[in-house]
Amino acid sequence: MVEDDPKWAYRWLARAVGTLFRKLALRNVAFLLDDIDRLIVNLDPALFRQLKSLRDRHKDRLSYVVATRRPVPDLCPKDRLREIDGFYKLIKANTYPLGLYHPDDARDMVHTLMRRVDYALTTTVQHALIHESGSHPGLLRAAFFALRANRALVEAQVGGGYRLRVADPAQPPEEPDMYRVGEIIHDMLKADAGIREECYDIWAGLDTYEQIVFENLVTGGASGDHESVIAGLAQKRLLKAGGDGKQQIFSPLFGEYVREIATRRS
């Protein structure tokens, strides 16, 4: 049937793109191909040849933004890369690792979450969540909702009548010691199922050498043979320079997760 023919799907896509330029007079169109690690490995190579052909017809006006958890060469065997070589050449010269949030963006995310669920946290608690998550968006979101779900337990441990939430913005509660709050929140979050799931996803997205570097950092092992890997992790801000100049894992929560893995393997 016509509707089951991939060639017709491509023709309709090409016609739609042409309509965007001719009828709507758009100057540029970008397709975001998000989280396509499995698709880029398993889809018919003809699709990628057709996307390349469509790009050739609309040079400088049509762009593809491809978001994957790992670099395309790490996902595809060599014969697969040859099959999609034309499409891959479009993106490989402009490949950039997406790092973590800037601290300002992390604070904006916390404020957005607070407004969304009407749960305003004190400044100390916001700082603790950003620190523990390392400004990683997935970890930060999971930490926020884990804290909200366990707020009574955390408040009981903090003591002194302190509350995590700002009940009355005009009369914010007195801020207790930041380190004490951070330690209590850390102990609660490291065992949370949502946090562990996010940590697993981060770990699974690392290649073998990146995992080795992280394990060496928590065990004190040598990482001298992995300078390029360390540089790549630093570029993605998964490693950061500590006060002593040595590289540190971006998030205390993820560092705890890596330490557990290293302990099980030892």
pLDDT value, residue 241: 83
Extract the tokens encoding 163: 């509350």
Extract the tokens encoding 99: 């790092």
Q: How far is CA 191 from the centre of its chain?
A: 20
3-state secondary structure of 247: strand
pLDDT value, residue 83: 94
Q: Are residues 49 and 109 in the same domain?
A: no
Enter the pTM of the model: 0.73
Q: Are residues 107 and 145 in the same domain?
A: yes
pLDDT value, residue 119: 86
Confidence band (pLDDT; 50, 70, 90) for 256? very high
Answer yes or no: is 123 within a domain: yes
What's the first-to-final CA gap in the chain, in angstroms?
Answer: 58
Q: For residue 83, give its domain range.
A: 2-92
**At a CB cut-off of 8 Å and minimum separation 6, what does 247 contact?**
217, 230, 234, 239, 240, 241
pLDDT value, residue 160: 56
Span 10-25, pLDDT tens digits: 889 999 999 999 888 8
Q: Where are the beta strands (DSSP E) in 143-238?
A: none
Q: Are residues 185 and 237 in the same domain?
A: no
Decide which of 88 and 168 is more confident.
88
**At a CB cut-off of 8 Å and minimum separation 6, what does 229 contact?**
209, 210, 212, 213
- At residue 97, φ and ψ (nearest 5 deg) are -75, 135
Q: Are residues 78 and 112 in the same domain?
A: no
Dist CA 147 CA 173 (whole Å): 18
Dist CA 218 CA 249 (whole Å): 9
CB atoms within 10 A of CB 258: 23
Q: Are residues 183 and 257 in the same domain?
A: no
Q: Which amino acid is at 16?
A: A
Per-residue pLDDT, averaged over 107-121, amounts to 93
Per-residue pLDDT, averaged over 204-218, amounts to 91
3-state secondary structure of 33: strand
Q: Which of 161, 181, 197 is the last residue of a domain?
A: 197
- The most confident of the ranges 3-12, 105-114, 147-156 is 105-114
Span 63-83, pLDDT tens digits: 999 998 778 888 888 999 999
Dist CA 205 CA 190 (whole Å): 20
Residue 187 has pLDDT above 70, yes or no: yes
Per-residue pLDDT, averaged over 111-121, amounts to 91
pLDDT value, residue 247: 87
Looking only at the bridges linking them, the beta strands covering 247-249 and 239-241 are antiparallel
Residue 2 has pLDDT above 60, yes or no: no
Answer yes or no: is 133 within a domain: yes
Per-residue pLDDT, averaged over 82-105, amounts to 89
pLDDT value, residue 1: 45
Q: Are residues 83 and 139 in the same domain?
A: no
CB atoms within 10 A of CB 65: 11
pLDDT value, residue 4: 65
Answer yes or no: is 98 within a domain: no
Dist CA 251 CA 239 (whole Å): 9
Q: Are residues 143 and 174 in the same domain?
A: yes
Per-residue pLDDT, averaged over 89-117, amounts to 91
Residue 123 has pLDDT above 60, yes or no: yes
Q: Are residues 84 and 117 in the same domain?
A: no
CB-CB contact of 150 with 187 (8 Å): no
Q: Which of 28, 60, 92 is the last residue of a domain?
A: 92
Q: Which of 68, 92, 116 is the last residue of a domain?
A: 92
Residue 216 has pLDDT above 50, yes or no: yes
Answer yes or no: is 10 within a domain: yes
Answer yes or no: is 55 within a domain: yes
Q: Are residues 121 and 187 in the same domain?
A: yes
Q: Are residues 193 and 142 in the same domain?
A: yes
| Averaged pLDDT score across all residues of the chain | 86
Confidence band (pLDDT; 50, 70, 90) for 33? very high
Q: Are residues 155 and 87 in the same domain?
A: no
Answer yes or no: is 179 within a domain: yes
Answer yes or no: is 248 within a domain: yes
Strand partners, 121: 165
Looking only at the bridges linking them, the beta strands covering 62-67 and 239-241 are unpaired
Q: Are residues 107 and 193 in the same domain?
A: yes
Per-residue pLDDT, averaged over 227-241, amounts to 88
Answer yes or no: is 257 within a domain: yes
Domain count for the chain: 3
Dist CA 243 CA 251 (whole Å): 15
